[in-house]
Amino acid sequence: MGMILLTNDDGYDASGFQALYQGLKKEFDVFVVAPRTQQSGASHSLTLRRPIRVEKLRDQFFTIDGTPTDCVLLAYHDLIRKKIDMIISGINHGPNMGSDVFYSGTVAAALQGATLGISSMAVSLSGHEYINFTPAANYAKRLIHKVIELGISKVILNVNIPESKIIGTKITKLGKRIYRDKVIRNNQKENVMYSVIDGTLSYKVATDTDFKAVEEGCVSITPLKLDLTDYESMGQLKAHLVE
């Protein structure tokens, strides 16, 4: 039975998180460190220069007033005293596809796990109702078993599961998310104003992408990496900028 560190960004009481927790604890040694409140969009932020409140709700189940990244760091460096086989983040209420991964607290927790040398997985549900998380939790449980049994080390998997009937699994690349952002300004008085960032999301359908797979009713599994270096530009930059 492997040790699983379970976290998320929707908060410890979110339906998706609880469904995954209930499913995993039957077959794994699960240790929970999750945010006490909603942290969606927190990305890879961490809490500095103030104490983080850590509350033990029961054995191997902690909540904190911090971010998903804080959860992983606190668990690894303080709360868990044995080897962590895998870090799982989710199930998120909504997809994390394309460039969503740069904003997602769910994905950030998995990336933080990878920086510690631990195989990690971000799990998200793509749909509309977000009522029944059981099929997604069961799929995630089977996938976790496979990854651990295969002995795949230091892997980062971004998993998006369709809310509708699952017809297959595809290994994908990140697609193109289209953001149509807007700012709504209100309650302006003299030099003080309150603004709300809003807008709509869409995406570009392309072969082999996470968006395409989920649109077709398949689970999208996208392997990620931490190295953001643009290697194609390095040669040109060296030729023109290095003296």
DSSP-derived secondary structure letter, 111: H
- Is 70 marked as a binding-site residue? no
Which CB contacts under 8 angstroms, 24+ apart, belong to 166-169?
166/135, 166/139, 166/217, 166/218, 166/219, 167/216, 167/217, 167/218, 168/217, 168/218, 168/219, 169/218, 169/219, 169/221
Alpha helix ranges (H) inside 39-192 = 68-74, 105-115, 134-150
Decide if 241 contacts 233 (C-beta within 8 A): no
pLDDT > 90? residue 155: yes
Average pLDDT over residues 208-213: 96
Using pLDDT thresholds of 50, 70 and 90, give the confidence band for residue 242.
confident
What homologous superfamily is domain 3-174+206-241 in, according to CATH?
Survival protein SurE-like phosphatase/nucleotidase (3.40.1210.10)
Query: What is the percentage of the chain residues whose pLDDT exceeds 90?
Result: 79
pLDDT in tens, 186-207: 777 778 888 776 765 566 678 9
Using pLDDT thresholds of 50, 70 and 90, give the confidence band for residue 41.
confident
CA–CA dist 89, 22 (Å, integer): 14
Decide if 176 contacts 209 (C-beta within 8 A): yes
What DSSP assignment string belongs to 32-72?
Answer: EEEESS--TT-TT----SSPPPEEEEETTEEEESS-HHHHH
Which residue is associated with the tokens 């496979």? 146
CA nearest 93: which of 171, 30, 13, 22? Answer: 13
- Is 65 marked as a binding-site residue? no
Lowest mean pLDDT segment, chosen from 139-143, 160-164, 175-179, 208-212: 175-179
pLDDT > 70? residue 65: yes
- Can you count the helices (H) and strands (E) in the chain? 6, 11
CA nearest 63: which of 23, 9, 103? Answer: 9
Number of other CB atoms surrounding residue 199 within 10 Å: 10
pLDDT score of 1: 67
Higher pLDDT, 41 or 78: 78
- Is 92 marked as a binding-site residue? yes
Amino acid at 87: I
Average pLDDT, whole number, for the chain? 92
